[in-house]
Amino acid sequence: MKTISTENSHGGTQGVYVGRSEACDCDMTFAVFLPPQAKARKLPVLWYLSGLTCTHANVMEKGEYRRLAAELGMIIVCPDTSPRGEAVPDEPDNWQFGKGAGFYVDATEPPFAQNYRMYSYIVDELPKLIEAEFPVDMDRQGIFGHSMGGHGAITIALKNPGRFGSCSAFAPISHPSVSGWSKPAFRKYLGADEARWRAYDACSLIEDGHRFPEFLVDQGTADSFLEDGLRPEELRQACETAGISLRLRMQEGYGHSYLFISTFMEDHLRWHARRLGD
């Protein structure tokens, strides 16, 4: 691991780091906020997964999480959204696929299977590095994210319920197997057999028996991606059928941007803090 930068903030440290990823076969950048309490003891860790076109920097610069994370004593880890580098295959004119659009899946189709293994990176590889380098209590992990990252957070929690004590999302892509902006990406990453897509689709995972105790989801009513891309009502229906507690808050007049996310960031941090304890 190499340190790119560190800055003091709210008594803690916001750092940016890079490490070689075997899963993605490239260097991967990530951000870690250490609150002041990290100088004395291990702390709960909260993973934030970003959305399409984003890097680690978007939430770090616009998410407004540090003040409360310092107060609550929570470490925040912000990974990148895809592999990077000249050798990584991409579609530069397509913001819904390739670099910045890893969808938190392990691709199976060439040429993308070589690098686009974001599920393994987030679930297996990066946690080992974070545990080795930072004072995290791996028995107290939460996960949340926005849009594509909300999809990633919910699906990862459903597939790893013993690891995470909490999960929430801002405007998640709830049913990517049928959403217009994710179906083409799933086909290129995972192949034409849509049965294989179910392993990375929140609604399908729930239908197939995966469970997580509860979710908090905030969704803006003025989000231009609401009907085709995000489909929160389908997540509500899947959770109701399965008996999963879902607190879906439709926030009147809010859109899809970080103005929306930063408005409700404090609610989400407190949600996770109550469930992860200290």
Catalytic residues: 147, 223, 256
Give the residue from 13, 143, 132, 18 showing the smallest Cα distance to 85. Answer: 18
CB contact at 8 A, 130 and 32:
yes
* Token pair listed for 60: 């770090």
For tokens 């999480």, the residue is: 65
The residues facing 117 across adjacent strands are 106
Residue 69, CA distances (Å) to 27, 51, 99, 176, 214 in order? 27, 21, 29, 31, 22
CB contact at 8 A, 19 and 3:
no
CB contact at 8 A, 63 and 265:
yes
| Cα 83 to Cα 94: distance, rounded to the nearest angstrom | 16
Q: Tell whether the torsion through CA atoms of 204, 219, 62 and 36 is positive or negative.
A: negative
* Token pair listed for 157: 């929690």
| Cα 179 to Cα 185: distance, rounded to the nearest angstrom | 10
Give the residue from 206, 202, 210 showing the smallest Cα distance to 231. Answer: 202
CB contact at 8 A, 144 and 169:
yes
159: alpha, beta or left, given left = phi > 0 and alpha = psi -120 to 50? alpha
